[in-house]
Chain A
Amino acid sequence: MQLKNVIESPCGLRFMLDQLELQSGFARRWLLDLPMMTRGEEIAAAYDELHRFTSFVEQVDKTRLDTLLFRLQGLKDIRTTIKNLHNKAVLDDIELFEVKHLAILATDVNTLLARHDMADVVEIPALDEVITILDPDGMKMATFYIYDSYCAQLKDLRAQIRQHPDHQDDLMLQASELEETVRQDLSRQLHLFAAAIEQALLALARIDVDLAKALQMRQMGMTFPTLTDDGTTRLEAMFHPQVQQALSTRGREFQPVDIAFGHRPTLITGANMGGKTVVLKTLTLCQYLFQFGFGIPAAKAQIAVKDEIYFCIGDDQSVEKGLSSFAAEMQNIDAVIKASRENKKLLALIDEPARTTNPTEGAALVTALLQVLADKDMSLVMTTHYDIESGKARCLRVKGFENGSMDYRLVEVQDGEVPHEALNIAQSLGIDSEWITTARKLLESAVQHV
């Protein structure tokens, strides 16, 4: 699974990518094509690399950093040209220019990074010989044409062309044949470096991505995670950057949340507007960011590696594909159950399952789901409004509405009993009082009836 397959996940991954200040379009494409990491060593190595870049970004002076970032803006996707080089094709002037441009860029970036002992982090192969081949006059300029010094005969012809503009066409034809011979010769020489050129191209994209991730970590106040191997995940003061930004434009603050979970299913209950969905969104986001090697939006993060991540949220887009919201949801959760039988390490985050059906059947479906998934080797975090048997699940509850404001923190409770705050919250929203009062009376008579 590649990053581009999950970029539209409702957890808000797209926002993080949009906020990532990459210098080149090629780095963005390269990043979107990256597969999700599922091995611990791989993730650890990626964070070691990112660590070097965050320290670099902290230490380097701004002018040097800006120079480096500006240079990376010149990175172009020349994979087609490199493929032609691999295939021993004769490159045209534009392709030769691209190769020279890349070789000079790679050398410059390497020099800039080497000054800060960063040359070993992402290895850029030396392309000095490539530059020499394409820069016969030693001008060190990222420009190109079939220079006079490649061929004495060509030089003479061009001198004649300048002197006899009347015979230009004839002379030009002869010159272009000579130029083609030079191109053949250059392409033959460059063929030996095709692999090194390709490696340099990818290394530059990777450096662009690493720098952007490092700068994003600093800008958003994110942290490096530690990896756990017992399957537990513990996030302290986690936040959702997109929700945080949306709130701050309305002059409000995001209240960070602590949460920890392992193999035991976790059930989150709490009042409406208590941020349960945001908790699931943030958890999903953190897990993806972790497995693609980004900074984690939390004060402290310990995260377990998973093979697959499932985020089932009610308002799924498959409704647009003609499925009813209930059908879409059932199919999504069905995929989780099937995957749980395949001996994979899963993380499933399920938001208010069966919320759109009648409460009797809904509660039965949710209770059963908990039972079916309880013994599987997976991490499950689920939210619900139904009063259900929590069974083996650990129960967390949003602290809720207190003194006119919402406390979004989670507290551990003994059972999954759901809070009865809907009417209070509705009242605080200024909803029609006749409606709310009537509902209160109905509730009271129901209690007396029992």
Chain B
Amino acid sequence: MKTSSGVFTDTSGNHCVQGVPFINDILRYDSLSIVGLEKNTGKTECLKYVLDRLPLQDKRIAVTSIGIDGETVDQVTRTQKPEIVLREGMYFGTSETHYRQRRLVSELIDVSDESTSLGRVVTAKAITGGKILLSGPSSASSLRRWMGEMQHRFDIDLVIIDGALSRMSSASPAVSQSMILATGAAYSVNINTLVSKTAHVVDLINLDMTSSPNLQTLSPLEKGLWFIDKDGALHSLDAMTSLSKDIHFEGMDGCETLYVAGALVDGFLEKVRKNKSLKQVELVVRDFTKIFVTPQQFRLFLKAGGRIRVLQKSKLIAVTVNPTSPSGYVLDSDILCGKLSEAIGLPVYDLLKNNHQCN
């Protein structure tokens, strides 16, 4: 609750000084995803930070993860991976397997029909605070369904998604209204490289949405290449993906929208750029996670007057950094935050260093 002195009180009576980074920004949206650019970029730390500080007395919060996540030890780098600590009253979605391993008292409110490799997704409310491993819906449609259920059936105000940026999972964090991006030395140990690589991803996240008529036409298409002619009619290109060698842009004269339902790759972007008849075309992808083009090709495309738009967009609220790489190499946090913030025009935080603790 906000008091006159600009102080937040959480349920346990602890005070959080107003001005802790981005908590107020998060509360403006009904969903948030926290996305790590690489393992060990501090995504889980960021999630902890957010969960510790959200005011629970007048907000119902639910949290889940996409894909298999939440192992106590990271399977790839063998580094320690903390369980998530939930506070009393928070809702969460996790797999049956992880639900059985929970270390809190919680009330089951739903068991889904959809199965993941760790069993069905169960939804519960924390009766006491405690630890839980998160592993939620693994497909795009089941994640959307889960979020909808949370908002409409259980009156949840804010859904938080621990969003792995994985090509293995079809669930995309871009279904959320807002987003926090975690980057760090695990992504690159060279500050300049890290800044430019992160800035590229930020550019992709910030791509504009396409116009609403396009949204309605294109949203149901899960795969393939499509274009909309000037009369608004939808056509399919023969090639199944943008990876195909053999793509002919025939019959596309005067068309205004070209939609790539799957991955967008360098070669395809180059073909579109070099095709004279596609000068006016707006290239549309589902969301930023589907774009696998190098910064160079991306810039060339924009420079030549090309436009890329998305069907789903999250508002990027902030970027967090973890200056420590899994191998132990540590970057200078202040220099990193400063350079990155300048490059992307957004606040950048090192949550561990600044130790924004509230209790």
Contact = CB atoms under 8 A, between A and B. Distances in A.
B96 to A, nearest CB: 6
A364 to B, nearest CB: 50
B107 to A, nearest CB: 4
Nearest to A26: B113
A261 interface: no
Given A168-B130, A172-B130, A144 B107 contact: yes
Interface in B101-157: 103, 105-109, 111, 113, 122, 124-125, 127-130
Nearest to A93: B108
A76 B130 contact: no
Nearest to A179: B105
B113 A94 contact: no
A92 interface: yes
Given A145-B127, A168-B130, A158 B107 contact: no
B100 interface: yes
B160 to A, nearest CB: 21
A144 B99 CA distance: 13
Interface in A252-296: none
Contact of A172 (B103, B109, B124): B103
Contact of B128 (A76, A97, A142, A158): A158
A193 to B, nearest CB: 20
B128 A162 contact: yes
Interface in B75-113: 88, 96, 99-100, 103, 105-109, 111, 113
A98 interface: yes
A165 interface: yes
The number of chain B residues touching the other chain, given as a range, is 10 to 19
A94 B122 CA distance: 8
Given A76-B113, A94-B99, A168-B130, A158 B105 contact: yes
A145 B99 contact: no
A144 B108 contact: yes
Contacts of A337: none
Contacts of A93: 99, 108
A143 interface: yes
A98 B112 CA distance: 11
A136 interface: no
Given A94-B99, A172-B130, A145 B113 contact: no
A221 interface: no
A145 B106 contact: yes
A127 B111 CA distance: 21
A246 B48 CA distance: 56
A161 interface: yes
B349 to A, nearest CB: 26
Contacts of B128: 158, 161-162
A98 B107 contact: no
A76 B109 contact: no
B113 A143 contact: no
A153 B359 CA distance: 30
Interface string B324-350: 000000000000000000000000000
A421 B109 CA distance: 68
Interface in B200-221: none
Interface in B50-97: 88, 96
A25 B108 contact: no
A175 B96 CA distance: 20
A98 B111 contact: yes
A144 B103 CA distance: 17
Contacts of A169: 103
Nearest to A147: B107
Nearest to A162: B128
Contact of B129 (A76, A144, A145, A165): A165
Contacts of B122: 94
A185 B296 CA distance: 66
Interface in A54-108: 76, 92-94, 97-98, 101
A143 B111 CA distance: 10
A158 B88 CA distance: 12
B129 A94 contact: no
Interface in A159-189: 161-162, 165, 168-169, 172, 175
Nearest to B99: A94
Contacts of B109: 142-143
A145 B108 contact: yes
Identify the interface centre among A92, A142, A145: most chain B CB within 10 Å of its CB.
A145
B111 A145 contact: no
Contacts of B88: 162
Nearest to B107: A145
Identify the interface centre among A94, A98, A162, A168: most chain B CB within 10 Å of its CB.
A94
Nearest to B124: A145
Identify the interface centre among B111, B129, B130: most chain A CB within 10 Å of its CB.
B111
Contacts of A101: 111
Interface of A: 25, 76, 92-94, 97-98, 101, 142-146, 158, 161-162, 165, 168-169, 172, 175
Given A25-B113, A94-B108, A172-B130, 6 more contacts: A101-B111, A142-B109, A143-B109, A145-B106, A145-B108, A168-B103
26 contacts: A25-B113, A76-B111, A92-B100, A93-B99, A94-B100, A97-B108, A97-B111, A98-B111, A101-B111, A142-B109, A143-B108, A144-B107, A145-B106, A145-B108, A146-B105, A158-B105, A158-B127, A158-B128, A161-B105, A161-B128, A162-B88, A162-B128, A162-B129, A168-B103, A168-B130, A172-B103
* In the complex, the 7 A-B pairs of residues with the closest C-beta atoms, listed nearest first: A145-B107, A97-B108, A143-B109, A144-B108, A143-B107, A172-B103, A162-B128
